[in-house]
Amino acid sequence: MFNCIVGEELTFKNLVNGQWITSSSNKFIDIYSPIGNCLVGKVPAMTKEEVDFAIKSADEAQKLWKNVPVNERAEILYKAADLLIEKVDEMSDIMMREIGKDKKSSESEILRSADYIKFTADTAKNLSGESIPGDSFPGFKKNKISLVTREALGVVLAISPFNYPINLAASKIAPALIAGNSVVLKPATQGSLCGLYLAKVFEQAGVPAGVLNTITGRGSEIGDYIVTHPEIDFINFTGSTEVGSRISKITSMVPLLMELGGKDAAIVLKDANLDLAASNIVAGAYSYSGQRCTAVKRILVVDEVADELVKKVKEKVEKLKVGNPVDGAEVVPLIDNKAADFVWELIDDAREKGAHLLVGGKREENLIYPTLFDHVTTDMRLAWEEPFGPVLPVIRVKDKDEAIDIANKSEYGLQSSVFTENINEAFYVAERLEVGTVQVNNKTERGPDHFPFLGVKASGVGTQGIKYSIEAMSRPKATVINIGK
């Protein structure tokens, strides 16, 4: 259906202990573009022995890296950020071909990652420890002081998803490295060309041999082996709730930081600015075809303003540009046919159960046209499941309490938006929502990246965000001074 995006076929290697290697098995995984199903490149399928070596060399390198002064680690990160900026054109072309994200969004993901890396270096240089006097606790005297510093954890396993292959790898690597850890990156297979390119940037910036290693191979084949590897000290995972919960079941005593799926609601109250709500909802739901954890995935609107809001949303959805990311389309083919099949099942289910199809409901291979359903009810799968595609359900509610109730019944708890001009109503709703972040009068979104970002319930474990990620990937070390003993 789509022509291939022009570009050379890429064969990438893995970075292990400072060397770029293919696999001794000589097996490669072909990466096909979601646009026209053309071959973009190939990456090695690593063997278990090679995984062992990558993790072992990370473990050894970390022993030296943790003693490198923070200001020197920071210089390497600044260099990496500059290189990302320098290479934005080439990298964004690869991203567009590999995951079908439009050029402008690909560029902005890369530039945002450069900012993330710089901000991480700045933040780490400004972190300080604390000293705690003993005599504030009953029964203790002034002669006891706890000096609290922070220490690295060891080898961090970073597993990233397909949809932000640079940002969600960089936002694991940079805080882990600055905290003195070494990193083993396992990028999503679809996204591994971007992930390996990013590793090259860090290597060129001066990250020493072994401090950043990469592993490629299908998660279904090597995932369990890597996450249960005895030399992994921390797992930082972004991906589906299904894989995340599997990792948490099969690992033992390894701390986890997980960003998982979501079903973010946009709650629209009667006194909302409906134009503002509609434009935020449409941008939030359909950009990159809804393949964002933080995409708006349901509208909960009170009956009084439902007709008017739906009309405005519908008008905007009809104007979305659909097609090839090369032409700047907002709604592009999904990552693969399997993803499109799943979205199609949800569309079928909603149709069969009587939801009103207002826009879309059309498919060509892995392209799902932007789809909007009104009068979705809670017996439909679309009310609860995460499509990761361009389909948005409108659920009409009688009041704010019913909206909160339905929002909280979700197994997920990433973010929610509330649209209202009344600050008291905003706080009423925000206080009651079981999510990591509530956006007042804005679409759900992660950025800016120094804000805390977390999911509750099935949406995650632990907190990301630049300072929070550094803290998560380090631990306090207390040295207690006992004066006069």
The distance of closest approach from Cβ of residue 484 to ligand G3P in the complex, given in angstroms and rounded to an integer, is 52
Cα(305)–Cα(288) distance, integer angstroms: 28
Cα(257)–Cα(263) distance, integer angstroms: 19
Closest CA to 333 of 32, 52, 28, 11: 32
The distance of closest approach from Cβ of residue 99 to ligand NAP in the complex, given in angstroms and rounded to an integer, is 10
Which of ligand NAP, ligand G3P, none does residue 219 bind (CB under 5 to 8 Å by kind)?
ligand NAP
Which of ligand G3P, ligand NAP, none does residue 445 bind (CB under 5 to 8 Å by kind)?
ligand G3P
Judged by DSSP in three states, 437 sits in strand
Q: Which is nearer to ligand NAP, 76 or 334 (CB)?
A: 334
Q: Find out whether 163 and 181 touch, Cβ atoms under 8 Å.
A: no
Q: Which is nearer to ligand G3P, 115 or 402 (CB)?
A: 115
Q: Find out whether 96 and 107 touch, Cβ atoms under 8 Å.
A: no
Q: Which is nearer to ligand G3P, 287 or 410 (CB)?
A: 287
Q: Which is nearer to ligand NAP, 188 or 383 (CB)?
A: 188
Which of ligand NAP, ligand G3P, none does residue 12 bind (CB under 5 to 8 Å by kind)?
none
Widest pairwise Cα distance in the chain: 80
Out of 238, 280, 289, 417, the only residue in the binding site for ligand NAP (CB under 6 A) is 238
Q: Which residues contact 134 (CB under 8 A, 6 or more apart)?
A: 140, 141, 142, 143, 144, 145, 146, 480
Residue 262 lies near ligand NAP (rule: CB under 6 A)? yes
Buried b (16+ CB within 10 A) or exposed e, 22-40: bbeeeebbebbbbbbebeb
Footprint on this chain of ligand G3P (rule: CB under 6 A): 163-164, 167-168, 292-294, 445-447
Site residues (CB under 6 A) for ligand NAP, limited to 268-327: 293
Q: Which is nearer to ligand NAP, 258 or 306 (CB)?
A: 258
Cα(321)–Cα(97) distance, integer angstroms: 18
Site residues (CB under 6 A) for ligand NAP, limited to 158-197: 159-163, 168, 186-189
Encoded amino acid at 204, one letter: Q
Which of ligand G3P, ligand NAP, none does residue 227 bind (CB under 5 to 8 Å by kind)?
ligand NAP
Cα(393)–Cα(191) distance, integer angstroms: 29
The distance of closest approach from Cβ of residue 449 to ligand NAP in the complex, given in angstroms and rounded to an integer, is 11
Closest CA to 238 of 155, 163, 337, 334: 163
Burial of 180 (0-12, 13-18, 19+ CB in 10 A): buried
Q: Which residues contact 120 (CB under 8 A, 6 or more apart)?
A: 77, 174, 175, 178, 466, 469, 470
# chain residues binding ligand NAP, by CB under 6 A: 32
Residue 154 lies near ligand NAP (rule: CB under 6 A)? no
HEC letters along 129-163 = CEEEEHHHCCCCCCCEEEEEEEEECCEEEEECCCC
The distance of closest approach from Cβ of residue 464 to ligand NAP in the complex, given in angstroms and rounded to an integer, is 7
The distance of closest approach from Cβ of residue 100 to ligand G3P in the complex, given in angstroms and rounded to an integer, is 15
Cα(464)–Cα(473) distance, integer angstroms: 10
Residue 224 lies near ligand NAP (rule: CB under 6 A)? yes
The distance of closest approach from Cβ of residue 450 to ligand G3P in the complex, given in angstroms and rounded to an integer, is 12
Residue 471 lies near ligand NAP (rule: CB under 6 A)? no
Out of 297, 455, 465, 472, the only residue in the binding site for ligand NAP (CB under 6 A) is 455
Site residues (CB under 6 A) for ligand NAP, limited to 392-451: 414
Counting every residue written for the chain, the total comes to 485
Encoded amino acid at 111, one letter: L
The distance of closest approach from Cβ of residue 407 to ligand G3P in the complex, given in angstroms and rounded to an integer, is 18
Q: Which is nearer to ligand G3P, 154 or 460 (CB)?
A: 460
Q: Which is nearer to ligand NAP, 390 or 455 (CB)?
A: 455
Q: Which is nearer to ligand NAP, 223 or 284 (CB)?
A: 223
Say whether 352 is catalytic: no
Which among 50, 107, 109, 259 is annotated as catalytic?
A: 259
Which of ligand G3P, ligand NAP, none does residue 312 bind (CB under 5 to 8 Å by kind)?
none
Cis peptide preceding 476, ω within 30 of 0:
no
Q: Kindly write down the DSSP assignment for every residue of 313-355, as one continuous string.
A: HHHHHHT--BS-GGGT-SB---SSHHHHHHHHHHHHHHHHTT-
The distance of closest approach from Cβ of residue 443 to ligand G3P in the complex, given in angstroms and rounded to an integer, is 8
Annotated catalytic residues are 259
- Provide the binding-site residues for ligand NAP, judged by CB under 6 A: 159-163, 168, 186-189, 218-220, 223-224, 227, 238-240, 243, 246-247, 259-262, 293, 386, 388, 414, 455, 460
